[in-house]
Amino acid sequence: MAKRALVSVSDKTGLIDFVKKLVDAGIEIISTGGTKKAIENAGIPVMSISEITDFPEILDGRVKTLHPAVHGGLLAVRDKKEHMDAIKGLGIQPIDFVVVNLYPFKETISKPDVAYDDAVENIDIGGPSMLRSAAKNHRSVTVVCDPADYDLVAESLDANADVPFELKQKLAAKVFRHTAAYDALIADYFTKQVGEEFPEKLTLTYEKKQPLRYGENPHQMAAFYSDPIEDESTIAAAKQLHGKELSYNNIRDADAALGIIKEFKQPAAVAVKHMNPCGIGIGESVNEAYDKAYEADPISIFGGIVALNREVDAALAEKLHSIFLEIIIAPSYSEEAIAILEHKKKNLRLLQVDMSDEPQDFTQYTSVRGGMLVQDLDTKGYADIEENLKVVTDRKPTEAEMESLKFAWTIVKHVKSNAIALVNDGLMVGMGGGQTNRVGAAKIALEEAGEKTKGAVLSSDAYFPMNDTVEEAAKAGITAIIQPGGSIRDQESIDMANKYNIAMVFTGMRHFKH
């Protein structure tokens, strides 16, 4: 009895060549709908699914393969006599190959303003059922869900039109990953449709974008996975124009840099090292902004990542080319700029990222041993607290100080807690982050800024538990402070600010970043 293959695909890439190889191996082809028509048009003999089921396709093709003649032929265990006697008595012939890929649900919901009914109509029912039946019985059935595996299967066919068990097992594992990912996308779509923020079951799916040489350290294995519904404004969707492959640490740093640069509408430049900003500048032009970011810390920027929110021109490229950088991120580059940056910089990674979109309300997932923490990404900025600002000191900030406080508050959100950021004349002049006490973070920031503290402003990601931070700031020449407030000892900090004629503003919002 000839072996049979059931073929029904949405993606017809490489299909005809593969089916020809199956037929050459003596395998009969069964097919449905558009797949059957494509095979027939190629002059390849093919049977209709209705010839197997003795039942017509109904409900606009919604029901065609959901039939005992199909699933009996797939699920019968070949070395169980009672199974084989049962299907023989019912006139069911075994199906030995399943070549199926699914309705394009991901592609459908990726379209802007997709209609709900269109999304629902592109949920495949029969396809996953066939794949799972075949994968469950993989000792006897070869199941192929990915056109990338066609050549491997064709080359592995032996004289008996069969493939090795190890390959069948690998293909079955891929099927279960494939259908699980498909179901996860559907579940996520419906969960969002009904407004469920934190469902009782959380099923996530990501697609492998690239293997990585190693993780955070050389002894750690790693890979990069991306959201299947691609957002053009993310690092995962960045277009790499030049340089060697991104590393694990590169990707994390680049993501941090992109998160900071997208806070700014005006021309801005951000330098990042180990996921912390080491220089941020704003100006009338992106060139001026970069000069300020570089001036903020010309030592730490070495070997770091620079993100810019305007096109890189030749003049800016010359400046960037003069120091060692790992990555440059920008929305675009002039041809002259690319030529300059590529010259003698074969490893410098140039990333192009769409920065036209507003910051998205991403969900943030953080793994812990045995579980996962889920939260909304902190996308709140100065505009969200501006109406509720409260000046708590005798002296109000000047207009220039308020501009600097706004800038400082935007920056400090992206520094590891405990965090202090100092701003003077459109650039970050000092930063203290990741400290176990707030006054320690302030001392680091003040020491880093040196003489640039004179006339600078200070921002804090959380309230001052004591007045010591205010006193250290005053002694260094800080003129204004912005912080959330909310400590039971707020009045002590206010009194200290009044003592040194510092203007202090409370925001009512903190920005912890662990």
Give one word for 501, left, alpha or beta, with left for phi > 0 and alpha for psi -120 to 50: left
In the chain the first and final C-alpha atoms are separated, in Å, by 65
- DSSP string of 445-471, one letter each residue: HHHHHGGGGTT-EEEESS--SSTHHHH
- pLDDT tens, residue order, the chain (514 aa): 789 999 999 999 999 999 999 999 999 999 988 899 999 999 999 999 888 877 777 777 677 777 888 889 899 988 888 898 888 888 889 999 999 999 889 999 998 889 999 999 899 898 999 999 999 999 999 999 999 999 999 999 888 889 999 999 999 999 999 999 999 999 999 999 998 889 999 999 999 999 999 999 999 999 999 999 878 889 999 999 999 999 999 999 999 999 999 999 999 999 999 999 999 999 999 999 999 999 988 999 999 999 999 999 999 999 999 999 999 999 999 999 999 999 888 899 999 999 887 666 688 899 999 999 999 888 888 888 888 899 999 999 999 999 999 999 999 999 999 999 999 988 999 999 999 999 999 999 999 999 999 999 999 999 999 999 999 999 999 999 999 999 999 999 999 999 999 999 999 999 998 8
* 208: annotated active-site residue: no
- Give residue-wise pLDDT tens across range 432-451: 999 999 999 999 999 999 99
**Cβ partners under 8 Å of residue 250, min gap 6:** 305, 326, 327, 349
Contact call for residues 342 and 365 (beta carbons, < 8 A)? no
Contact call for residues 121 and 77 (beta carbons, < 8 A)? no
* 274: annotated active-site residue: yes
Question: Catalytic residue among 21, 83, 136, 513, which?
Answer: 136
Question: Catalytic residue among 274, 321, 345, 380, which?
Answer: 274
User: Which is it for strands 207-212 and 363-368: parallel, antiparallel or unpaired?
Assistant: unpaired
- DSSP string of 60-119, one letter each residue: TTTBSS-SHHHHHHHH--TT-HHHHHHHHHTTPPP--EEEE----HHHHHTSTT--HHHH
308: phi then psi, degrees, rounded to nearest 5: -135, 145
Domains and CATH numbers, the chain: 4-194 (3.40.50.1380), 230-352 (3.40.140.20), 382-506 (3.40.140.20)
Contact call for residues 175 and 135 (beta carbons, < 8 A)? yes
Handedness of CA 44, 49, 54, 57 (dihedral sign): negative
User: Which is it for strands 349-352 and 239-242: parallel, antiparallel or unpaired?
Assistant: antiparallel
477-488 exposure pattern, b = at least 16 Cβ within 10 A, e = fewer: bbbbbbbbbebe
Q: Which residues pair with 427 in a beta bridge?
A: 281, 424
